[in-house]
């Protein structure tokens, strides 16, 4: 049986890392058909539209998209395409795994933390931002809802069950933001009761930052609101060696978009040295989502083995001597051997 997915190569290094990722997916024989569509600067130049309707239609039709980084022009009244996509498809769960890989210059070697970040409300409401006429007072509203908090916390627990994880930590600031963060925390406590088999604890965000840096091994799944999740997941990416290995999954009821956390990296675009692993790990998460868990695992294992035994093939950001292509070819060879 074949499954069609929307593929958006994107801007900057996007087309290079997408080609590398599709090479590995093809080597895995996943039976995927690619509906390639455009967004970002490429789309603006070709079609005069950052986010053409054909692209939205393809994502809606196929319900799963693999997406390269998209550049939104600064100024000119453009809203971020990534934010627009999340809103349009109500992709409320932003899942960001941080896993250690061998031979990277990371501070820790055994990290395996998944941050589940609320992706649609909290501090990210553009309409909640005001400034007084005299410019002396600026105000931003944080709005959490029971519905929004419930579905993100439930998502985290359901994911924990499905992936065989042991613990969920709710990160909050309910001691200061008693209303908004307080609502999130009380919902988290309620939902946690439905999952007695999963250990639950709660942590104030400032303490969570310190604990993540000092004793990251105590964390398994973190669930938190939008802004805290944004910050904490970058912190977690830093623990495992940076952006080159950080995938981000945006999940909703009707669609899911899988992407790398990093941007279009214009400074290295076209040089053939971009690390394809973040997008590749997003593709592995996509395979999990599509029910092809063994194939997702095979990608992660092939990356691990390549870094451990064939480090020279890796891109320079991971201390290798290779290129996007040599790295992808080495990973593709290993998934083929394993199949
Ligand atoms: P954007 O505006 O699209 O976010 P940016 O200039 O912020 O682009 P990022 O893509 O966020 O750039 O990257 C920040 C730094 O990390 C850059 O120096 C970039 O070269 C590097 N980087 C990002 N992704 C990769 C990658 N996949 N491989 C190697 N280096 C990367
Ligand atoms: Mg950036």
Please give the ipTM for the structure prediction: 0.94
Nearest CA to ligand 1 atom 1: 263
Q: 196 and 168 in contact (C-beta within 8 Å)?
A: no
Looking at the CA of residue 11, tell me the nearest atom of ligand 1.
Answer: 3
The alpha carbon of 31 and the centre of ligand 2 are apart by a number of angstroms equal to 33
Looking at the CA of residue 317, tell me the nearest atom of ligand 1.
Answer: 29
The alpha carbon of 71 and the centre of ligand 1 are apart by a number of angstroms equal to 11
Nearest CA to ligand 1 atom 7: 263
90 is known as an active-site residue: no
- Mean pLDDT across the stretch 307-318? 94
pLDDT of residue 103: 82
The alpha carbon of 152 and the centre of ligand 1 are apart by a number of angstroms equal to 29
Give residue limits of the domains in the chain.
1-96+243-338, 107-240
> Nearest CA to 115 among 196, 225, 256, 258?
225
Find the ligand nearest to 80 CA.
1
The alpha carbon of 91 and the centre of ligand 1 are apart by a number of angstroms equal to 24
d(CA 245, CA 10): 18
173 is known as an active-site residue: yes
* Marked catalytic residue, from 11, 92, 124, 285: 124
pLDDT tens, position by position, 233-268 = 999 999 998 788 999 999 999 999 999 999 999 999
**pLDDT, mean over the chain:** 95
Place of tokens 């509906």: 35
195 is known as an active-site residue: no
> 107-240 architecture in CATH?
3-Layer(aba) Sandwich (3.40)
* Marked catalytic residue, from 11, 173, 295, 317: 173
The alpha carbon of 167 and the centre of ligand 2 are apart by a number of angstroms equal to 31
User: Which CATH number is 1-96+243-338's, of 3.60.60.10, 3.40.718.10, 3.50.50.60, 1.10.275.10?
Assistant: 3.40.718.10
Looking at the CA of residue 274, tell me the nearest atom of ligand 1.
Answer: 28
The alpha carbon of 245 and the centre of ligand 1 are apart by a number of angstroms equal to 12
Ion ligand 2 nearby residues (CB, 5 A): 263
The ligand 1 site (C-beta within 6 Å) comprises 12-13, 69, 71, 243-244, 262-268, 274-275, 278, 317
Higher pLDDT, 337 or 147: 147
DSSP state of 122: B
Q: How many angstroms separate the most distant Cα atoms in the chain? A: 67
Q: 93 and 252 in contact (C-beta within 8 Å)?
A: yes
Looking at the CA of residue 242, tell me the nearest atom of ligand 1.
Answer: 16
The alpha carbon of 155 and the centre of ligand 1 are apart by a number of angstroms equal to 29
pLDDT tens, position by position, 280-297 = 999 999 999 999 999 999
Q: 274 and 265 in contact (C-beta within 8 Å)?
A: yes
* Marked catalytic residue, from 11, 230, 249, 288: 230
pLDDT of residue 9: 97
Share of the chain above pLDDT 90, in %: 88
230 is known as an active-site residue: yes
pLDDT tens, position by position, 65-110 = 999 999 988 877 777 898 899 999 999 999 999 999 988 888 898 9
d(CA 70, CA 42): 9
CB atoms within 10 A of CB 215: 9
Q: Do 1-96+243-338 and 107-240 agree at the fold level?
A: yes
Nearest CA to ligand 1 atom 21: 265
CB atoms within 10 A of CB 60: 14
pLDDT tens, position by position, 15-39 = 999 999 999 999 999 999 999 999 9
Nearest CA to ligand 1 atom 6: 265
Q: 126 and 141 in contact (C-beta within 8 Å)?
A: no
Question: pTM of this prediction?
Answer: 0.94
Q: Ligand 1 pocket check: which of 243, 283, 314 to mutate, most ligand atoms within 8 Å of Cβ?
A: 243
pLDDT of residue 1: 65
Place of tokens 């967004």: 39
């Amino acid at each position: 049986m074949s499954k069609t997915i929307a593929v958006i190569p994107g801007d900057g290094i996007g087309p290079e890392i997408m080609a590398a990722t599709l090479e590995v997916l093809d080597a895995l024989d996943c039976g995927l058909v690619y509906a390639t569509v455009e967004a970002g600067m490429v789309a603006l130049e070709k079609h005069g539209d950052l986010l053409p309707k054909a692209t939205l239609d393809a994502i809606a039709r196929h319900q799963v998209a693999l997406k390269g980084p998209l550049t939104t022009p600064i100024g000119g009244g453009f809203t971020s395409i990534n934010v627009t996509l999340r809103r349009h498809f109500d992709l409320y769960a932003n899942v960001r795994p941080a896993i250690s890989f061998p031979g990277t210059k990371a501070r820790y070697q055994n990290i395996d933390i998944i941050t589940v970040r609320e992706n649609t409300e909290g501090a990210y409401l553009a309409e909640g931002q005001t400034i007084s006429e005299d410019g002396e007072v600026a105000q931003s509203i944080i709005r959490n809802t029971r519905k929004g908090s419930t579905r993100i916390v439930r998502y985290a627990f359901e994911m924990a069950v499905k992936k065989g994880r042991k613990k969920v930590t709710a990160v909050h600031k309910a001691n200061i933001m008693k209303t908004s963060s307080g609502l999130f925390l009380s919902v988290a406590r309620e939902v946690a009761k439905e999952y007695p088999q999963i250990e639950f604890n709660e942590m104030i965000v400032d303490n969570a930052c310190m604990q993540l840096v000092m004793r990251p091994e105590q964390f398994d799944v973190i669930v938190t609101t939008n802004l805290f999740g944004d910050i904490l997941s970058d912190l977690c990416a830093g623990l495992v060696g940076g952006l080159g290995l950080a995938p981000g999954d945006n999940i909703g009821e009707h669609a899911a978009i899988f992407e790398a956390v990093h941007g279009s990296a214009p400074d290295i675009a076209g040089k053939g040295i971009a690390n394809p692993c973040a997008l590749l790990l997003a593709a592995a998460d996509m395979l999990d989502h599509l029910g092809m868990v063994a194939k997702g695992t095979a990608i992660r294992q092939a990356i691990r083995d390549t870094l451990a035994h064939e480090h020279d093939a890796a891109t320079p950001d991971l201390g290798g001597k290779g290129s996007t292509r040599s790295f992808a070819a080495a990973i593709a060879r290993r998934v083929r051997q394993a199949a």
